Structures are given as structure tokens and as C-alpha cells.
């Protein structure tokens, strides 16, 4: 591997390389050697920036959680525009069409990673928990605007949408689901609360 080559934004390059390995080969194949080979750098680069591989993985997950939080702000901002089903379909597609499904598998697969993430995300499955909060927050905003029933249980609806969305996108070997399939699930789940 090359050494002495300056890398721009090392963390992000390593994160992107890890995502490519995850998406292509799954959590079993994700090693420090696989990440650095994918990034085209020496293995020592990763260890200069992170205490160990699980620290790297924890930072990767936390970085992706921050992206979900940014997506949550945009989704809340869309309340009152478009359709509720359309907004939710787009949010689930953006969320699960990315590397999120593979990261959930990684968190479940690696005990040490889960233990590290418990320090900042004490309950639920990291990334999935934040995604459910994103959906619940959006539904609450729509409830305040009167587009969702006042008595709607937004937390249960959010968990149902996240679980259903995860199931739709979980098969990494096939093509992602069509937008119509995602919309059908969303429409079915929220049908009883739309106004």
C-alpha cells in the first residue's frame, strides 16, 4: 500500500470505503485491512486516526446518525407541504436506500461496537432509534398542522414504518424496492390517521 501520500479528509475517505465494503460484501467482510485496501491507503492510516477498529466503527455509526438528524430537520421542515405519504415514502427511501440497512447489520453483528455505542445511544438499535425519532417528529408536526389525527400514536406509527421499511430494503442481494412498494406500505400504515 502507498505510504507518505497525503489524504484529504481521511476520516470521510475511510468511512466511505467502509460503506462500500459493507454494501458489497456485508459485515463479515468489514476489517481494518478491507477498509484501508478499499480506501487505497496503508493500514496504519486508520490506526493513526482511531484508537482501534471498533472506535473507527463507532465513529462511523455516530457520523451516520448525525446524517439522520440532519435528514430529520429537513423532513420536519416539509410538514404541511406535499403529501404525508409522499414525504414519508421519500424519507424511508433516502434512509434505507443508503447504507443504513448494512450499518444496522453491523451493529447487531459486532458485540464490542454495540457496547461502545451504548455509551451514547443507551436504548434501542443505534441508527434505527434515531430514524424512528425522525419519523415520529415529522408525524407530530403533521398532527399539529391537522393533517394527521389529533389522537394518532406517532411513536407507534414511526416504529411500524421503520420496521416495515427495513424489511422492504433488507435484501441486499436484489434490487431495492420500487417507490410504489414503499408508498403502498406507508399508505397502509398511516391510512387510519390521515385527515
Residue at grid coordinates 387510519: 192
Q: How big is the chain by its Cα radius of gyration, in Å?
A: 18
The pTM of the full predicted model, rounded to 2 decimals, is: 0.87
Average model confidence (pLDDT) across the chain: 91
Instruction: Count Cβ atoms below 10 Å from residue 70 Cβ, excluding itself.
Output: 10
CATH number of the domain that residue 31 is part of: 1.10.10.60
| Per-residue pLDDT, 68 | 93
Residues 161-169: what's their mean pLDDT?
93
- Are residue 10 and residue 91 in the same domain, yes or no? no
- Are residue 17 and residue 99 in the same domain, yes or no? no
- Are residue 56 and residue 81 in the same domain, yes or no? yes
On whether the CB atoms of residues 191 and 161 are closer than 8 A, the answer is no
- Are residue 139 and residue 85 in the same domain, yes or no? yes
Q: What are phi and psi of 177, to 5 degrees?
A: -65, 150
Of the pLDDT bands very low, low, confident and very high (cuts 50, 70, 90), residue 151 is very high
- Are residue 90 and residue 183 in the same domain, yes or no? yes
- Are residue 45 and residue 76 in the same domain, yes or no? no
| Per-residue pLDDT, 99 | 84
> Percent of the chain scored above 90 by pLDDT?
72
pLDDT value at 77 more than 50: yes
- Are residue 70 and residue 91 in the same domain, yes or no? yes
Domain count, the chain: 2
Structural domain containing residue 24: 1-49
Which of 25-29, 40-44, 96-100, 187-191 has the lowest average pLDDT? Answer: 96-100
Amino acid at each position: 500500500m502507498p505510504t507518505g501520500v497525503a489524504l484529504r479528509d481521511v476520516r470521510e475517505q475511510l468511512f466511505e470505503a467502509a460503506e462500500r465494503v459493507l454494501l458489497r460484501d456485508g459485515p463479515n467482510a468489514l476489517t481494518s485491512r478491507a477498509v484501508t485496501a478499499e480506501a487505497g491507503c496503508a493500514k496504519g492510516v486508520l490506526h493513526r486516526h482511531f484508537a482501534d477498529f471498533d472506535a473507527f466503527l463507532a465513529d462511523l455509526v455516530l457520523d451516520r446518525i448525525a446524517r439522520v438528524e440532519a435528514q430529520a430537520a429537513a423532513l420536519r421542515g416539509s410538514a404541511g407541504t406535499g403529501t404525508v405519504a409522499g414525504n414519508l415514502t421519500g424519507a424511508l427511501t433516502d434512509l434505507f436506500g443508503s447504507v443504513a440497512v448494512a450499518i444496522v447489520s453491523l451493529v447487531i453483528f459486532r458485540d464490542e461496537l454495540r457496547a461502545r455505542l451504548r455509551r451514547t445511544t443507551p436504548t434501542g438499535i443505534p441508527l434505527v432509534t434515531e430514524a424512528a425519532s425522525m419519523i415520529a417528529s415529522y408525524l407530530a408536526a403533521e398532527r399539529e398542522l391537522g393533517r394527521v389525527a389529533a389522537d394518532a400514536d406517532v411513536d407507534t406509527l414511526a416504529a411500524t414504518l421503520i420496521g416495515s421499511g427495513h424489511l422492504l430494503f433488507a435484501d441486499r442481494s436484489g434490487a431495492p424496492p420500487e417507490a410504489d412498494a414503499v408508498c403502498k406500505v406507508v399508505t397502509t400504515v398511516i391510512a387510519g390517521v390521515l385527515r
